[in-house]
Chains A and B, each alone.
Chain A
Amino acid sequence: MPTSEPNDFFHGSVGIVQTQVATFDSLTLEGGETITPLEIAYETYGTLNQKKDNAILVCHALSGDAHAAGFHEGDKRPGWWDYYIGPGKAFDTNRYFIISSNVIGGCKGSSGPLSTNGNTGKPFQSTFPFVSIGDMVNAQEKLIRHFGIHKLFAVAGGSMGGMQALQWSVAYPDRLKNCIVMASSSEHSAQQIAFNEVGRQAILSDPNWNQGLYTQEKRPSKGLALARMMGHITYLSDEMMREKFGRKPPKGNIQSTDFAVGSYLIYQGESFVDRFDANSYIYVTKALDHFSLGTGKELTKVLSKVRCRFLVIAYTSDWLYPPYQSEEIVKSLEVNAVPVSFIELNNPAGHDSFLLPSEEQDSILRDFLSATDEGGFF
């Protein structure tokens, strides 16, 4: 549960929105293969100004999509970052032009395993080429150029979105003014790869897996649901789970789930299957595991390219992306004399904290973006 009830500053909605798709000729991937054509699903909120210098790119996490704010027709729940995007909110749509795009390799409208292979007329599925975080960012760059934007006011994201933001700052150092990295890391630790590997193995061991060439009627749903259950545990915290579920068992039962937390995870797993694709899960978690800007001196060298201001946010209760990983990024930026602010918020919600309403987080995002500082440190 959120630390505080949504306050006044969380009110205000961008209203009804629609996901759109931009199509480009092709994108050459870091691995050498080419996606033809390249499709990117995206949404925008607010208005791009004449100088085209008020655009903020918002990058989503693993299971997110282009729908970051407002409501789709008939939806009961808004986009994944609606607490922070809207008129008068931290990402103020009266001031900024917000762009949220779905990553390539995903399954929510951008080129990925569900896209049709022109040569066969069938979906690529597991024959889609390997996609990296760098490729996702290069695809976003095409979208930004399509809007005629040379320099983004900011790139922001949490978790995998934070990795994209970080990648932006080194791949296109002159194309962004501010970079916001939340609950993220410069590379996955063995533990983070381990969690992802268990998820992937759950999918691979589903009887319907068929090397990723499954039919939509016979999908590896059980495996994907298990992967999501595993993931979901890592997104929460011990404290949250204790508060939310405690131990609540009705009666000892060997045949089925008898704990509240078990039913909750099963529900999360099953509902995930309806909105996500097993192949995409594998592509995107692989992209996460392979992303590496290094640590220590190596990271410091990579980040010497950076030319923007930074805000880095970590959460004390986040045991999936522990605060030391954020601090590693901050220290490497500081050595390069990059203007950077770092805060570790004491939100009890674990890794998912960046998605939830918090007065402190709202204030720090809002103030960081509002603080105009043309000079910087360079």
Chain B
Amino acid sequence: MNIHTNETLGLDLKNRPDISYIANLIKPGERVLDLGCGYGELMLILKNKGVRVQGIEKDDKCIIQCVKKSLYVHHGDIDDGLKHHLDHSFDFVILNQTIQQTLNPGNIIKECLRIGKQVIIVFPNFSHWQIRTSILLSGKTPVTDLMPFHWYDTPNLHYLSGKDFEDFCEFERIKVLHRAFFNRTRQIKLFPNLFATLALFVIRA
């Protein structure tokens, strides 16, 4: 994630449909681990709701901002492992637009399912029509609002769509509890794999 973009996003984050969807899933008093928590905007929203939230983030500038917000963050890389966390020690583990930036998403998701009773995964939907058209027409790797990076400077290592994730869950026998699709302003219910910029899944082992 481009952290600078992320910080400005923070201003209207609370009104974003995907963020309020997540906030509605989690009850006060529940324990949440936010992997790749960035500047901690989502954590702050959850904290203000009375959720016991902690994060992991690899960018030190982000950590400093999180501490400013009175949040608890571990400076580290989730690719280095989450081994010390006990089985089912969190009510929710959140991967909010993080999974596509990790080295080994499959392993990380399995670890999340081990330490979280439920796992919330949000990622940019690579099968959005703008991306499809862009590839079709230009023949180049797409640079869009959602993925505003070039192939040579992107933090995104993996590109996946809602359908890809469904296939993964089926193959790994992971239970999908909820699925929801969004663009910037609203939830998308019709042909989400074509029209949604963001895909959200709630899964459990």
Q: Tell whether, in the assembled complex, residue A335 and residue B67 are in contact, meaning their CB atoms are under 8 Å apart.
A: no
Q: Does B113 contact A (CB under 8 A)?
A: no
Is residue B158 contacting chain A, with contact meaning CB distance below 8 A?
A: no
| A335–B86 CB distance below 8 A | yes
A372 to B67, CA, bound (A): 11
B residues in contact with A373, CB < 8 Å: 70
B76 touches A342 (CB 8 A): yes
Q: Is B72 engaged at the interface, CB distance under 8 Å to the other chain?
A: yes
B163 within 8 A of A: no
Q: In the complex the two chains form, what is the Cα distance from A364 to B71 in whole Å?
A: 12
Tell me the minimal C-beta distance from A338 to chain B in angstroms.
9
Cα distance A331–B85 in the bound complex, in angstroms: 8
B residues 80-101 touching A (CB-CB < 8 Å): 84-86, 89
Asked if B31 is an interface residue, CB under 8 A from chain A, the answer is yes
A334 at the binding interface (Cβ < 8 Å)? yes
> Is A327 interfacial (CB-CB < 8 Å)?
yes
- Chain B contact residues: helix, strand, loop or mixed: mixed
Indicate with 1 or 0, residue by residue over A356-378, a CB within 8 angstroms of chain B CB atoms: 00001001100110011100010
Q: Which of A2-10, A39-47, A80-88, A343-351 contacts B (4 or more CB under 8 A)?
A: A343-351
Q: Does A152 contact B (CB under 8 A)?
A: no
Question: In the complex, which of the residues A330, A367, A368, A371 contacts B74, with contact meaning CB atoms closer than 8 Å?
Answer: A330
Interface: A340 (CB within 8 A): yes
Interface size class, chain B: 20 to 34
The contact of A341 among B73, B84, B86, by CB within 8 Å, is B73
Give CA–CA (A341, B66) in the complex, Å: 9
With both chains docked as a complex, state the minimum distance between the C-beta of A10 and any C-beta of chain B, in angstroms: 17
- Which positions 31-74 of chain B face chain A at CB distance < 8 Å? 31, 52, 54, 60, 63-64, 66-74
Q: How many angstroms between the C-alpha atoms of A288 and B89 in the bound complex?
A: 34
The yes or no answer to A123 lying at the interface (CB within 8 A) is no
A341, B31: Cβ atoms under 8 Å? no
In the complex, what distance in Å separates the CA atom of A311 from the CA atom of B67?
9
B32 to chain A, nearest CB (A): 11
| Interface pair B52/A372, CB less than 8 Å apart | no
The answer to whether B54 and A339 touch across the interface, beta carbons within 8 angstroms, is yes
Name the A residues within 8 Å of B66 (CB-CB). Answer: 341
Contacts of B70 in A (CB 8 A): 367, 371-373
If A334-B84, A335-B84, A335-B85 touch, whether A342 touches B73 (CB-CB below 8 Å) is: yes
Query: Does A337 interact with chain B (Cβ within 8 Å)?
Result: yes
Query: CB-nearest residue of chain A relative to B66?
Result: A341
Identity of the chain B residue whose Cβ is nearest the Cβ of A323 in the assembled complex: B75
A341 engages B52 (CB within 8 Å): no
A14 to B157, CA, bound (A): 52
Sampled A-B contacts (16; CB under 8 Å)? A331-B84, A332-B84, A335-B84, A337-B52, A339-B54, A340-B54, A340-B72, A341-B67, A343-B64, A343-B73, A360-B60, A363-B68, A367-B67, A367-B70, A371-B69, A371-B70
